Structure 1
Amino acid sequence: MTRSVYVTGVERGDGRQVVELGVMELLTRHVDRVGVFRPLVHDDPDRLFDLLRARYRLGQSPESVFGMTYHEAATLQAERGADELVSQLVGRFHEVADAYDYVLVLGSDYAATSLPDELGLNARLANEFGASVITVVGGQRQTAESAGAEAHNAYRAYEAQGCDVVAVVVNRVVPGDREALAERLAAKLPVPSYVLPEDPSLSAPTVSQIVRTLGAEVLLGDDTGLSRDVRDFVFGGAMLPSFLPALTEGCLVVTPGDRADLIVGALAAHSAGAPPIAGVLLTLDERPGPDILALASRLAPGTPVVSVAGGSFPTAAELFAIEGKLTASAPRKAETALGLFERHVDTAALTERISVGRSGRVTPMMFERELIERSRSRRRRVVLPEGAEERVLRAADVLLRRDVCDLTLLGEEGAIRKRAAELGIQLAEARIVDPQTSPLRERFAEGYAKLRAHKGVSYELAYDVVADVSYFGTLMVQEGLADGMVSGAVHSTAATIRPAFEIIKTAPGAEIVSSVFFMCLADRVLVYGDCAVNPDPDAEQLADIAIQSATTAARFGVEPRIAMLSYSTGTSGSGADVDKVRKATALVRERRPDLLVEGPIQYDAAVDAAVAATKLPDSEVAGNATVLIFPDLNTGNNTYKAVQRSAGAVAVGPVLQGLRKPVNDLSRGALVQDIVNTVSITAIQAQSPASPASPTSPASPTEKAQSA
């Protein structure tokens, strides 16, 4: 039987979309096929479903999501009774339930409806669907005492109607009341309760939402600028010297269109980063001349300048009535909402309460969301040397909003903050360090000079070397000021890992540093190694790569079954290349008899059960391999890219292994999500010391060479 959870409330304005989004995130981490059903819908587009469909790549058709409109429901209930209404909605629900493993049901919103006893209807539908219930109460503008009483009443209301209430969430609570309310609810309610504080950035509208609501004309600005949150309004009427001190971070400047001095002044202040504004809204249907607009576009590229026909007073009345919404066009709000949900909800306990069993398949999305969840479980500090790079800043924005880890960005602080302001990104929770001016530079130079004295490195030379962001970031990791480093979006692999070889060095028992990619296919995750570091490993090194890769796979939830790849399977081939793989396989068995390993074996026999049944019918690995070790870099790099591009796989990596502390390299073509994934992996690697790749032994010549 398909399982389902029904998220519902008791009145409008409870900000329930945060909870619905959070529950969907939990479901997609564990279940391959999740359906959505909203029994009642307004005639307007369903913004939340559009967000869920875009974010979670839902293939479900909109027609199957919705039961009927509120008007149709009210008419049906009036003409044929509540039983007929419920019967039809139950039938439509089961059409979705028959097609999916789990269904998230979005309860009615209590907004301008003519249905009597809407709470009772939600309770009855939940019972008829066989769904567990999460009830949400809005705590906005309430005291802790009144919000607690309302939460208790909401639980009793649904419980009295026979619902299986698994949790109560009180949302939009005054932050200072959160802890007291949480204690009160824990003492009174027989089910888990969670209290989410009000987050002003969620209720702040974006510039694009204001443009749509007011019917404004966009004179300047790009999509990034239009996606900025508007956290304040500053109305310009004073002269420029009095006006500038009134500007606040994230404000929308509202001024008559003929005040060129205020327009230019506000944008110049934004360009200087003091403070970064959301944009400028011009009233009275006045537009500055082309020279002023050209100057404005050069002062603050991408910053929105929009125009409306109305005057400042009626425009102000409309502005103050606009409230931010979770929509597909505002992905950063979704990240903020998920971060809020995950910080204040025991997601593991809630997952168990709503009876979410883990799917046998592991999809790319499930793997990526599992990385976020695990990295958040024990917060770590990651340093990003390329602090002013746009993709890195966008990834940092996601990581901070999701509360994944603490971040340090390296670079000139003014340049980083200015670029972040242009992108509408807030870095309040990030640490920014400039290696050129940091007090740590002298300390690092002394340590590096001592470490490299055998290479003739003086303090003066070291002082110059450690100002390089890659060296500075690596030294932060070595000195315990960060737990891991991620670089490579604009730097070469050599620039990223050379400092690690010199400073951090290989882990005990690891002969060499190597890499893996997590290849997320449609129905499973495979581990490919080594596809990025070692051009032509010998048999001993290949065995070390295999053992390291198996350790990495196990750490990230992939049961290691190692295939040592070659162009022949079993004893069918001979030659130096095959002999190398055969010897490496024997070494793996000798060093780690607990690991399942097969080799030499061809790729098709490693992953295809039908082929394996013909070529190696008695193998425990053939046809079921999860860790695939390539004989050389040429084969590995080309294979991972071919699978990535031709099979549509998500390639997460390269993930470096064999270092004492985690440093990971990015592809210079890395997307924002690639950076988020790699930082998450780095944080997870830093949560526990790396397991030895093989029994500890004296440093090999290769280790000594890399350490040098």
Structure 2
Amino acid sequence: MARNIYITSIEGHAGKSTVALGLLYTLSREAKRVGVFRPVARTSNERDYVLEMLLAHDAVDLSYDKAVGVGYDDVHADPEAALSRIIERFKAVEAQCDVVVIVGSDYTDVGSPTELSFNARVAANLGAPVLLVLGGQSGAGVNRTPEDLVQVYTIAHQELDAAHAHLVGVIVNRSDPDHLPQIIEAVSATAGADTPVWAIPEDPFLIAPSLASLLDAVDGELLKGDSELLLREALGVVVAGMTMENVLTRLIEGSVVVVAGDRSDVLLATLMAHASETFPSLAGIILNGGFELVPQIERLIDGLDLSLPVIRTSFGTYDTARIITQTRGRLAADSPRKFDTALALFEQHVDSEVLLQRLDLNPPLVVTPLMFEYGLLDRARQQPQHIVLPEGGDDRILRASSTLLRRGVARLTILGDEGEVRGRAAELGLDISGATILSPFNEELRERFATEYVRLRAHKGMTMEHARDTVTDVSYFGTMMVHLGLADGMVSGAAHTTAHTIRPSFEIIKTKPEVSIVSSVFLMCLEDRVLVYGDCAVNPDPDAAQLADIAISSAATAAQFGIEQRIAMLSYSTGSSGSGADVDKVRAATALVVERRPDLAVDGPIQYDAAVDAAVGKSKMPDSEVAGRATVFIFPDLNTGNNTYKAVQRSAGAIAIGPVLQGLRKPINDLSRGALVQDIVNTVAITAIQAQGVAADSAAAASLAASTTTAAAAGEQS
């Protein structure tokens, strides 16, 4: 039986979409099949953008038509028939899902308790507890006081009670940031101890319209600039109805500037101000009046080579400004920063564990890729580490940094020229203000790093002059930061080769004392479980001792990420059935693992089918605790490992996270040059978790040393 939750409010613009998104992500960590259902959707030709946004989530596998109950017209025409239809269509969705997020109607006509009453009836008939969302602001955009919110809650609770709907919790969204504790205290006092109450502060960014939505609203055309920057949100409006010098003093960070199309002087001054580091970074310019640009002015603009979007509209100044100010931002699938902001607000202000307990979800029996990814982010957030990202000139790194910072996954240092990095982030509408931007040509650090590099490579004849040049390479600079404790880990490779990324770590970081070889694994996220594949990226043809080392390191990595450790030492032969140099190598490696780590479950040589398929494993190795149940797969060479992981990735639709380097004293990880933003986010989270392990080991070693010293001192005194 699915467990479901119904999100509703007593009015429009309360921010249900933010709550729905946060809840959807929370439930995706706990359930394999998450559904979304909209009992009452918009009846116009426009598709329901909230529903489309939620359906775009990777955990949801439903079509738009299946996720809709009825339209507003159906409810107005015959509420009882509409309710019957909603129940019928919901049951079809429920049958396919472990849990369903039901998003109540949007008050697109007359917002009143009558609409809440219908939502409450729907919730009661669907057997779904209600998560009530109260708007922290009135329709006029004024912050509500705690007393105001108590009144709103009381009205809403009466409607829910009348329909026999069960209230599971209250979220006061878009609340006055300065009075969150008072709001929670006041509403909690009225709701009672059995009803948890949370408050999410207002964030103006979430209601800011994007340049793309303003382009549509003013029926404009993109005249100049980068079309990708149309996704940036406009955080304010400046109407340039004055002289050039007065316009410049009124520019606002992230704003859209409305300029009359025949005021070339103001247009050029605004563009030059945007290009200057001494003025605010703008979101865009809208030229009103429909005027054509004078050819000479157009040549000047082209010569500036700016990416700032310049939009032309035929509307006059008044109408253009009116339309812009009336255009509301939407939390849509094409706004990653809004996604990150909404999720961060939900994660920071709503106790998801309490909410999940209230829903009484059964523990998941499987681990999906999404569950695993969210688990990575959660673990990284528990003890944020300092990660250095050397490739500050790559937009993917900047987008990932914005996500990581907003969601509190790690503390970041990005390498690059500070003006260029922050300027590009501003152009993209990204907030990386929480990151440190550091130039690899920083003189103080360059000298310090060069001195240390000479010490480390003195046996290779390293000179100070050569070292000064070497350490300005971003991979060497970032690695030296990790080595000297200025960062806890490094992630690179989006714009560099694997060799360029990891070679400095071999020279500087080096291996752990008990490890003889640096190796790698891929975390293979299948539909219902996560497996470990090693080594698929670093060592071409390891010998038996190295293969044993890789197996032990891979088991440790598996344990670090909550994966059971049952190691299959793969070969083309199972057990004692085959012979030859390649099989003998695997057999010898297996014996070494057993000798060094008798606590580990390991078997080999074993073929892949016997390792992964229970029936085949029982047939070929009936007494093995690994056969048919393996979780850690050790390939005999790089050729086999690399091809196998890619074959499984493509044919089984697995998500391959990695390569994750193992065996180094401190974590350095490589990215694919085709890495997506989410790949970078995941790799940083993995690196942060590895760094947590390093910190824990160091603390344990320090504690042991301290206790040994104390015991020795006590012995001397006695």
TM-score by length of 2: 0.90
Q: How do 1:116-155 and structure 2 match up within 5 A?
A: 117-140=114-137, 141-146=142-147, 148-150=149-151, 152-153=153-154
Q: How do 1:571-582 and structure 2 match up within 5 A?
A: 571-582=576-587
C-alpha offsets along residues 527-553 of structure 1, whole Å, 9 cap, x if unaligned? 110111122212121111111111211
Which residue, out of 86, 96, 100, partners 2:97?
100
What amino acid is the match of 1:33?
R
- Distance change >3 Å, CA 290–CA 345, structure 1 → 2: farther
Provide the residue aligned with 2:212 in structure 1.
Answer: 208
Which residue, out of 602, 617, 620, partners 1:615?
620
Question: Aligned partners of 2:143, 2:304: CA distance in 1, in Å?
Answer: 44
Which residue, out of 360, 367, 373, partners 1:368?
373
C-alpha offsets along residues 425-450 of structure 1, whole Å, 9 cap, x if unaligned? 23212210112125333333333333
Provide the residue aligned with 2:18 in structure 1.
Answer: 18
Moved more, 108-117 or 547-556: 108-117
Provide the residue aligned with 2:107 in structure 1.
Answer: 110
Tell me the SS of whatever aligns to 2:328: coil
- Distance change >3 Å, CA 154–CA 194, structure 1 → 2: farther
Provide the residue aligned with 2:241 in structure 1.
Answer: 237
Tell me the SS of whatever aligns to 1:439: helix
Q: CA deviation at 1:502?
A: 2.6
Q: CA deviation at 1:74?
A: 1.6
Question: Aligned partners of 2:249, 2:8: CA distance in 1, in Å?
Answer: 45
- Distance change >3 Å, CA 55–CA 91, structure 1 → 2: closer
- Distance change >3 Å, CA 136–CA 158, structure 1 → 2: same
- Distance change >3 Å, CA 470–CA 611, structure 1 → 2: same
Moved more, 558-567 or 261-270: 261-270
Q: CA deviation at 1:143?
A: 4.3
Kindly indicate whether residue 66 of structure 2 is the aligned counterpart of residue 64 of structure 1: yes
- Distance change >3 Å, CA 504–CA 22, structure 1 → 2: same
Question: Aligned partners of 2:443, 2:122: CA distance in 1, in Å?
Answer: 61
Provide the residue aligned with 2:571 in structure 1.
Answer: 566
Tell me the SS of whatever aligns to 1:687: helix
Provide the residue aligned with 1:699 in structure 2.
Answer: none
Kindly indicate whether residue 305 of structure 2 is the aligned counterpart of residue 326 of structure 1: no
Provide the residue aligned with 1:224 in structure 2.
Answer: 228
**Contact 1:27/1:356 (<8 A) preserved:** no
Tell me the SS of whatever aligns to 2:693: coil
- Distance change >3 Å, CA 570–CA 358, structure 1 → 2: same
Provide the residue aligned with 1:498 in structure 2.
Answer: 503
Provide the residue aligned with 1:173 in structure 2.
Answer: 175
Question: Aligned partners of 2:273, 2:651: CA distance in 1, in Å?
Answer: 48
Moved more, 588-597 or 382-391: 588-597
Provide the residue aligned with 1:534 in structure 2.
Answer: 539
Q: How many residues align?
A: 688
What amino acid is the match of 1:27?
L
What amino acid is the match of 2:486?
L
**Contact 2:134/2:149 (<8 A) preserved:** no
What amino acid is the match of 1:685?
Q
Q: CA deviation at 1:564?
A: 0.6
Question: Aligned partners of 2:109, 2:283: CA distance in 1, in Å?
Answer: 32
Q: CA deviation at 1:177?
A: 1.8
Tell me the SS of whatever aligns to 1:360: coil
Provide the residue aligned with 1:246 in structure 2.
Answer: 250
Question: Aligned partners of 2:624, 2:123: CA distance in 1, in Å?
Answer: 49
Q: CA deviation at 1:394?
A: 1.9
**Contact 2:488/2:666 (<8 A) preserved:** yes
Provide the residue aligned with 2:199 in structure 1.
Answer: 195
**Contact 1:283/1:308 (<8 A) preserved:** yes
Moved more, 421-430 or 245-254: 421-430
**Contact 2:287/2:311 (<8 A) preserved:** yes
Name stretches of at least 5 consecutive residues in structure 1 with no aligned partner. Answer: 697-708
**Contact 1:281/1:306 (<8 A) preserved:** yes
Tell me the SS of whatever aligns to 2:29: helix
**Contact 2:104/2:119 (<8 A) preserved:** yes
**Contact 1:74/1:114 (<8 A) preserved:** no
Question: Aligned partners of 1:683, 1:68: CA distance in 2, in Å?
Answer: 46
Provide the residue aligned with 2:486 in structure 1.
Answer: 481
**Contact 1:151/1:168 (<8 A) preserved:** no
Which residue, out of 582, 588, 591, partners 2:593?
588
Tell me the SS of whatever aligns to 1:110: coil
Q: How do 1:345-364 and structure 2 match up within 5 A?
A: 345-364=350-369
Tell me the SS of whatever aligns to 1:686: helix
Provide the residue aligned with 1:703 in structure 2.
Answer: none
- Distance change >3 Å, CA 280–CA 642, structure 1 → 2: same
Provide the residue aligned with 1:704 in structure 2.
Answer: none
C-alpha offsets along residues 228-263 of structure 1, whole Å, 9 cap, x if unaligned? 010011122333333223222211111111222222
Q: CA deviation at 1:483?
A: 1.7
- Distance change >3 Å, CA 439–CA 55, structure 1 → 2: farther
What amino acid is the match of 2:417?
E
What amino acid is the match of 1:587?
L
What amino acid is the match of 1:41?
A
What amino acid is the match of 2:605?
P
Question: Aligned partners of 1:292, 1:595: CA distance in 2, in Å?
Answer: 73
What amino acid is the match of 2:102?
V
**Contact 1:137/1:154 (<8 A) preserved:** no
**Contact 1:139/1:147 (<8 A) preserved:** no
Question: Aligned partners of 1:621, 1:266: CA distance in 2, in Å?
Answer: 68
Question: Aligned partners of 1:578, 1:351: CA distance in 2, in Å?
Answer: 50
Provide the residue aligned with 1:393 in structure 2.
Answer: 398
- Distance change >3 Å, CA 690–CA 76, structure 1 → 2: same
Tell me the SS of whatever aligns to 1:661: coil
Tell me the SS of whatever aligns to 1:55: coil
**Contact 2:146/2:187 (<8 A) preserved:** no
- Distance change >3 Å, CA 150–CA 451, structure 1 → 2: farther
Which residue, out of 414, 439, 447, partners 1:409?
414
- Distance change >3 Å, CA 654–CA 526, structure 1 → 2: same
- Distance change >3 Å, CA 293–CA 4, structure 1 → 2: farther
What amino acid is the match of 1:58?
V
Question: Aligned partners of 2:111, 2:396: CA distance in 1, in Å?
Answer: 48
Kindly indicate whether residue 9 of structure 2 is the aligned counterpart of residue 9 of structure 1: yes
Q: CA deviation at 1:5?
A: 0.7
Tell me the SS of whatever aligns to 2:8: strand
Q: CA RMSD in A?
A: 2.4
Question: Aligned partners of 2:467, 2:212: CA distance in 1, in Å?
Answer: 49
Provide the residue aligned with 1:32 in structure 2.
Answer: 32
What amino acid is the match of 1:74?
H
Question: Aligned partners of 1:584, 1:409: CA distance in 2, in Å?
Answer: 41
Provide the residue aligned with 1:705 in structure 2.
Answer: none
Tell me the SS of whatever aligns to 2:134: strand
**Contact 2:526/2:654 (<8 A) preserved:** yes
Provide the residue aligned with 1:42 in structure 2.
Answer: 42
Provide the residue aligned with 2:477 in structure 1.
Answer: 472
**Contact 1:135/1:168 (<8 A) preserved:** yes
What amino acid is the match of 1:503?
I
Provide the residue aligned with 1:701 in structure 2.
Answer: none
Q: CA deviation at 1:73?
A: 0.7
What amino acid is the match of 2:64?
P
Tell me the SS of whatever aligns to 1:621: coil
Provide the residue aligned with 1:427 in structure 2.
Answer: 432
TM-score by length of 1: 0.92
What amino acid is the match of 2:124?
N
Q: CA deviation at 1:314?
A: 1.8
Moved more, 525-534 or 589-598: 589-598
Kindly indicate whether residue 645 of structure 2 is the aligned counterpart of residue 640 of structure 1: yes
Provide the residue aligned with 2:705 in structure 1.
Answer: none
C-alpha offsets along residues 26-50 of structure 1, whole Å, 9 cap, x if unaligned? 1122212111111111223111111
- Distance change >3 Å, CA 660–CA 266, structure 1 → 2: same
C-alpha offsets along residues 621-673 of structure 1, whole Å, 9 cap, x if unaligned? 22222111111112212222232234332211011111222111112222222
**Contact 1:147/1:170 (<8 A) preserved:** no
- Distance change >3 Å, CA 349–CA 544, structure 1 → 2: farther
Q: Among the aligned pairs, what percent are the same residue?
A: 52
Question: Aligned partners of 2:555, 2:297: CA distance in 1, in Å?
Answer: 62
Moved over 6 A (4+): none
**Contact 1:86/1:125 (<8 A) preserved:** yes
